[in-house]
Chain A
């Protein structure tokens, strides 16, 4: 049964800052915790590991209770069986790579420790570096050792606190691939704290969006990213095209109005007031001058190109509608050139209903 080894967390505190979070992570699942700085992500991770004392709530790993204020249980970090990868590696600087891993294996007989440590070095592609001191390793190598050490305890939960933030982009991509490979061999809940939404999409199965110490939204990565619950969540998830909307009722039908037109093909919900629309970038179709475009009859509007900046191969634009609201839109530079796009020109775009989602304020 999957629930037997899942991680279940409920944390509440009011001082020194407020925290009210509920999480569940099944074995084999990688849950990403994301949100702006100061939202409490790292505190959640530290509380799970027993490094932060929390007032109320519980932390269960399968049937093991690590913390439950109602039962008066609060195990030490040593008793919790977690693997923790720190943001700045936190390797033991005075011992070599092999001993960094062996130190975390007090649960094994002495002889087995070195055998297992060598296996972990191999798993993290660090063979041959066992005698080096951490000071002689690159950032990527340090992070691989930190991961090997975290796995050395044979943990029941793996916690990763912004593990890729201190390495360069090239190394980061390599480490993504390696973590994705190692993940397939791990059958334990994994919680990743990150600021990077690209990292979330590449690595995580589920996502918990935090803000001011509370869970704003949680679910599968795809659901949360595509369908934020409200305007705040949408902005935190990096969505730029958020416009005001209202619903008119006409002879029993609901008509969704935004950007000065009546929208068609958008799924509205009765669960909340639709005060805003989130428009995915891929849902904006530019009308071409030479021939009709796919879907150009769907929600067509005329917009003014109020800003245009070349970013690499693309032209990034601000489009201003009659209502004064802006849409962000990019096209490749050759398409922009062919259609004569320049600042001050009015162009026609269509907005595909399937890429539009209702939001509450």
Chain B
């Protein structure tokens, strides 16, 4: 599989697996007050400030078959988690956690508490309040989270290189292929790939901005 399609596959898996987690954690952080809240938030948003190589180093150490945890995971799942696509997905899930949680958390926070309470006193169950009242008001935040996660996964370099290495067809994503091309002085190929990533990133940011604007204007009408 070429680097382009590998990156798309990685971004799709990451987005698909991370969205439910993002919705769950975003809602918890928006509504629940508990003692470990600060710790949970710190853990979720840590990848925003931590250098990707540092995060990649810890993941590599943690998932390596030479470590106890890595060996246990490998025997449990039956697949190696370093220098493999599956390992790449796992690393990508952790790196992208803040992008999947923050927009959803914001969207849930924007729902007035009285709207949810009005649903309860109207006889609507807690689950139906979530599906019929909360989710429809949060879809823009969820879409925004999906777009950010997808775009950020496409561009991720440091953690991917540390955990996945550079195996053609297995872990060589678009951003690593660009690096390879530059190393080999193949500036034309690198130029085409970077232009593609740049165009996609701009489109993603515009989409996020547009969604954000829509949500903002809807809430303040």
Contacts and interface: CB of A to CB of B under 8 A. Distances in A.
B37 interface: no
B117 A103 contact: no
Nearest to A136: B221
Given A86-B114, A90-B114, A93-B137, A51 B121 contact: yes
Nearest to B116: A90
Contacts of A77: 117, 120-121
Interface string A71-104: 0000011101111101110111111000000011
A92 B135 CA distance: 12
A106 interface: yes
B136 interface: yes
A94 B117 contact: no
Interface in B117-143: 117-125, 132-133, 136-137
Given A103-B132, A135-B221, A92 B123 contact: no
A152 interface: yes
Interface in A116-171: 135, 149, 152-153
A82 B118 CA distance: 11
Contacts of A83: 121
A77 B112 CA distance: 17
B221 A92 contact: no
Interface residues of B, number: 18
B115 interface: yes
Contacts of B118: 84, 86, 90-92, 149
Given A93-B137, A94-B136, A135-B221, A88 B122 contact: no
A107 interface: yes
A78 B120 contact: yes
Given A92-B133, A94-B136, A106 B117 contact: no
Given A90-B112, A92-B115, A93-B115, A84 B121 contact: yes
A107 B123 CA distance: 8
Nearest to B118: A90
A94 B117 CA distance: 16
B124 A76 contact: no
Given A90-B112, A92-B133, A103-B132, A153 B117 contact: no
Contacts of B133: 92, 94
A82 B121 contact: yes
Interface in B128-178: 132-133, 136-137
Contacts of B119: 92, 103
Given A90-B112, A93-B137, A104 B117 contact: no
Contacts of A80: 121
Contacts of B137: 93-94
Given A78-B121, A90-B112, A90-B115, 15 more contacts: A51-B121, A76-B120, A77-B120, A90-B118, A91-B115, A91-B118, A92-B115, A93-B115, A93-B218, A94-B133, A94-B136, A94-B137, A135-B221, A152-B122, A153-B122
Interface of B: 112, 114-115, 117-125, 132-133, 136-137, 218, 221
Task: Please name the 3 residue pairs, one residue from A and one from B, whose CB atoms are nearest each other, closest first.
Answer: A104-B122, A90-B114, A90-B118
